[in-house]
Structure 1
C-alpha cells in the first residue's frame, strides 16, 4: 500500500465571520473520507480503460447536509467588499469590474476564449488584487446534463464537480509557478514576492439555478481537515496534487443565487506567504428546488486558473 501523504497545515484564525444571511438553503455536500484499504487518495484525470465509465478514483464520498447562505442581499446592497480572498478566501467581484464582452456563442471558440476572455480576466485580477503580474495557464468549461442522460466525466466533456475540494496544495502551487514562468530565474524571483493561484468562476449563461457553486469561509477550517490527494494524468504529464476536505460542522458555506454571466467569484487556491495561505474549499451542489425540473436551464460555467503576483521590491 502507498504511504499516506502528509497533510497540509495552516493557521486557523476564524473571527469576524460573515454574518449568517436570513436567506439560505439546505443541500447535501460531498466530503472526503479515507479509502478503506489505506491507500493514498487519488483521482485519475484520464481513463486507462477505453471502455471504462467515468474517471477512476479511490476517494469515497461522505454526504453531509449543510445550510448554504445566500450572498445575494449582500451584493444587492453593494457590500461585496465583505468578501475578500485575503480573509474569507473567496471574493464576489462587483459587476462594474466583472462584466464581460463575451457572448454565449463566443464560448464555443477556443481562440476567442484565450485571446479576448483571458485579457479580460487579467485586467480583472489586476484591478481587484493590485497584482503587478498575472499568468493565466488554463481554463475549464463545465456543462450540466439532464437526469437520466448523464455521460462520463472526461477531459473532453467536463461536468460540475460535486465534491468539496481545494484545487492546489503548497507544492503544486509552487510547481505551477516553476512551470509557467518564462525561466527558472524568473520563477525564483517571482516566488520571493507574494504568489497566489486564483480560480475565476463565471456562468456562461444565467441564471444558475440547478447546480450552483458553494464556497466555505476559509477561516472556519482546521488544518487537519485538508488532505493531500494525487491527481494522476496521462503520461508523460507529471502527477499533480489537490486537497480533499474532511467534514466539520464548523464549516460555514455560502453561494450567490441566480448568478448571471456578468458576475464572477474569485476562489483562492494557493498563497505562498505565511499569513496569506488560507485557501477556500468549494463544490458544486444540487439545488433541489430546481435540479431536474422541467424548463430549468442547465448550468454552463467557465473557470480560469491564474497565477497572480505581487513582485518583490528589489
Structure 2
C-alpha cells in the first residue's frame, strides 16, 4: 500500500505578523521568507517524513518533489502565495539554511534579495486556482519554485488566509 500524502494546512492567526509577540497557534502560519521548502541535501529526511519507507525506493532515481497549493476558501487576498520566476534567480542568490522545527531539523534553500527577481501571485485566488510547482529535483539541476507569502495591503477587513498544500513525488 502506497503512503497517503499528508496535507499541510496553514491558517493565519490574527496576531500574525506581530514583531516581538509570541503566541501559541494551532496551525502553521504563512511563510514570509522567500524559500524552497527543502534542498537536495535535505531530501532523504524530508522523503522519510513525508513518505515513510520510500527513500530506499527513490535514492537512486531522478525525481521531482511537487507542491500543490490552494486556499481553502476564496477569493483569497490575505497574504497570497507569491511565486518567483526562476529565470530571474542568479546562483549567488541562493543559500542553504537549517530549517528548525519543534520536532525535527531540515534543510531548505533561502534567497538573498535581488532587484532582478520577478514575483507573481493570483489576486483573489479561488479554491479552483491550484498552484503547482517544483520544490526541488533530486539532481539539483532544474528550476525550483521559490515562494513566500506577501502582505497584500488591499485585503478586505476580517479575511484571513487558510490554505492547504500537498506534496507529491514524480519519478522520471
Distance in 1, matches of 2:112 and 2:161, equals: 27
Where structure 2 has 5 or more consecutive residues not aligned to the other structure, the ranges are none
- The aligned runs of 1:131-210 (5 Å cut-off) are 137-146=5-14, 152=22, 156-177=26-47, 180=51, 182=53, 185-188=56-59, 191-192=60-61, 194-210=62-78
**RMSD across aligned C-alpha pairs, in angstroms?**
2.8
1:211 to 68, 74, 79: 79
Number of positions where the alignment pairs a residue of Structure 1 with one of Structure 2: 168
CA contact (8 A) 2:35 2:147 kept: yes
Distance in 2, matches of 1:274 and 1:162, equals: 24
CA contact (8 A) 1:199 1:267 kept: yes
- The residue aligned with 1:303 is 165
For residues 101-138 of structure 1, give each alpha carbon's deviation from its aligned partner in whole angstroms, at most 9, with x where no partner exists: xxxxxxxxxxxxxxxxxxxxxxxxxxxxxxxxx96543
Offset at residue 154 of structure 1 (A): 5.5
Where structure 1 has 5 or more consecutive residues not aligned to the other structure, the ranges are 1-133
TM-score, structure 2 length as denominator? 0.82
Q: Secondary structure at the match of 2:164?
A: strand
CA contact (8 A) 2:47 2:54 kept: no
Q: Secondary structure at the match of 2:92?
A: helix
CA contact (8 A) 2:13 2:25 kept: no
TM-score, structure 1 length as denominator? 0.47
Offset at residue 264 of structure 1 (A): 0.5
Distance in 2, matches of 1:218 and 1:174, equals: 24
Offset at residue 182 of structure 1 (A): 3.9
